[in-house]
Amino acid sequence: MRSLHIDGDSALHRLPAGVKLATLSVISLALFMIGNSAFLAGAALVGLAGHTLLRISAAEIWRRMRPFALIVVVVALFTAVFNGTTEGLIALFRLAALALFASLVTATTTTGDFIDVITRAAMPLERLGILKARDVGLSIGLVIRFVPEILSRYEVIRDAHYARGLKPRPVSLIVPLIITTLRSADEIAAAIDARGIRRQK
Amino acid sequence: MATRDLVLSALFAAIIVALGLVPPIMLGFIPVPITAQSLGVMLAGVVLGARRGTISVLLVLVLAAIGLPVLSGGRGGLAVFMAPTTGYLIGWVFAVITTGYLSQLLVSHSQAGFVQTVNFFVAALFGGVIVLYVCGISYLALITGLGFSKAFMGSLAFIPGDVLKAVIAALAGRAVMVGYPLLPKRA
């Protein structure tokens, strides 16, 4: 699984992840409070221009933004039809600007930096006894480690259907997938505890 | 939290991610492919119960937020939390809490198989459809200024598919309970 992070050494790459996240939340709040379509269009342009810092082609930018383009356009059209063209334009530029700024933070921050921010943010919760901050990184690592394994398990189960001349059906695919996957939980948990990774009594 | 519970949550998060990556499953009787990721959210509640189910859904959302393309269609990054449909993602958390809590409340091992399936269906329908759509539609209505009735109309087309997923989640949830029971006893 490849992250959406893009390597680089721009000013945005060097900014600490926590600062970028805080700025993003301030910007998104401001975008929701401002209802001027010209200003919002300008903001969207700034977000788009920011992508030149990533040194990727226009086609690559489009590939990254495509999943959001469709839903933004649909919602903007819907708003335009029901609430008038002005509201539709405001929705279009506001939603586009939000997606572009968020995508900038994602592209310039590594997964490791994000995990560090989350672990630090979880420290107060650890002091309250709700969770252990270090577990966050461990769990994220576990998920990334097991996704490819579950995908190949899915293929094995599907091929087993074909081998027996059965059509794969949702229930007959998902049930063995869940049971075989969760059965390995005991071994994995024992391996984690044997290595003392969570440092608990 | 016991290490086993943490591992179960992480493994189920990986299942939810994997369900977003496999090609859409075609159902025999209707010609519409269904993407399995929101089915994964219902399954998390039905199989693991409220607490562990919620942790696995939160893990998927954290992975998406930190830039991994874990959502169906290879979506990910902070932009998915700044989109008009973000309410459905946030709704996943409330959906899995509700589905998990209702599963623990309604389903017990002494019930007949059919009763268990129906109870799982009620839990999945209430959490994974009703609670999910309340979150998704409210967010869409507030963010775009469309108003509730129009936002509801825009979402209507997806409801039949999600009711069907609740049926699949109920059948699968009951089958997993028979094969490898994990649901905590009544809360």
Judge whether residue A133 has pLDDT over 50. yes
Residue A128 is predicted with a pLDDT of 81
The residue of A63, A113, A175 whose CB has the most chain B CBs within 10 angstroms, and thus the best one to mutate to test that interface, is: A175
**Could you tell me which chain B residue has the CA closest to the CA of A92?**
B144
C-alpha B133: how far from chain center: 12
User: What distance in Å separates residue A165's CA from the closest CA in chain B?
Assistant: 15
What pLDDT sits at residue B103? 94
pLDDT (tens digit, 9 = 90+) per residue, B107-121?
Answer: 888 888 899 999 999
Of A4, A28, A154, the CB nearest to B18: A154
Phi/psi region, residue A6 (left: phi>0; alpha: psi -120 to 50; beta: rest), is beta
| CB-nearest partner of B7 from A167, A179, A192 | A192
The model's pLDDT over A60-113, given as tens digits with 9 standing for 90+, comes to 889 888 878 877 888 888 888 888 888 889 989 988 998 899 899 989 988 888
Rounded to a whole number of angstroms, the distance from the CA of A117 to the nearest CA of chain B is 10
Would you tell me the crossing angle of helices A170-183 and A185-194 to the nearest 10 degrees?
30
The predicted pLDDT at position B106 comes to 92
What pLDDT score was predicted for residue A169?
Answer: 85
**Residues composing chain A:** 201
User: Binning pLDDT at 50, 70 and 90, where does residue A200 land?
Assistant: low
Nearest residue on chain A to B3, judged by CA atoms?
A189
Q: What is the pLDDT of residue B187?
A: 43
**What is the residue type of A185?**
A
Nearest to B176 among A170, A178, A184 (CB): A178
Tell me the average pLDDT across B135-151. Answer: 85
Per-residue pLDDT reduced to its tens digit, B12-63: 999 999 988 776 665 555 545 556 788 999 999 999 999 999 999 999 999 9
Does residue A3 or residue B48 have the better pLDDT? Answer: B48
Provide, as residue numbers in chain B, all residues whose Cβ is less than 8 Å from the Cβ of A183.
180
Q: What is the percent of chain A where pLDDT is above 90? A: 30
**pLDDT (tens digit, 9 = 90+) per residue, A96-111?**
998 899 899 989 988 8
CB contact under 8 Å between A154 and B22, yes or no, is: yes
CA B46 to chain centre: 9
What contacts A34, CB < 8 A, 6 or more positions away? A40
Q: Least CA distance to A145: which residue of chain B? A: B14
pLDDT at A182: 92
* Mean pLDDT score of chain B: 87
Local confidence band at B185 (pLDDT 50, 70, 90 cut-offs): low
**Lowest model confidence (mean pLDDT) among A21-35, A139-153, B142-156:** B142-156
- Could B77 and A103 be called an inter-chain contact, meaning their C-beta atoms sit closer than 8 Å? yes
How far away is chain B from the Cα of A129, in angstroms, using its nearest Cα? 10
Are B14 and A173 a contacting pair at CB < 8 A?
A: no
Residues of chain A found within 8 Å of residue B52, distances taken between Cβ atoms: none
ipTM: 0.89
**Beta carbons of A144 and B154 less than 8 Å apart:** no
> Looking at beta carbons, which pairs linking A185-188 to residues 24 or more positions away fall under 8 Å?
A185/B4, A185/B7, A185/B8, A185/B11, A186/B4, A188/A142, A188/B7, A188/B11
B3-179 classified as CATH 1.10.287.1080: no
- B167: its two tokens: 């049926």
pLDDT for res A201: 46
Q: Are A166 and A19 in contact (CB under 8 A)?
A: no
User: Which residue of A4, A142, A154 is in closest CB contact with B76?
Assistant: A4
pLDDT on residue B148: 84
What integer pLDDT is reported at residue B47 of this predicted model? 95
List the single residue in B with minimal CA-CA distance to A71: B84
Q: Give the orientation angle of helix B50-65 with respect to helix B86-106, to 10 degrees.
A: 160
CA gap B88, A148 in Å, rounded: 26
What is the rounded CA–CA span in Å between residue A15 and residue A13? 6
Q: How far is CA A55 from CA A52, B38, B183, in A?
A: 5, 35, 49
pLDDT over 90 (residue B2) = no
User: Chain A residues with CB inside 8 Å of B9's CB?
Assistant: 139
String of DSSP letters for B2-58: -HHHHHHHHHHHHHHHHHHHSPPEEPSSSS-EE-SHHHHHHHHHHHH-HHHHHHHHH
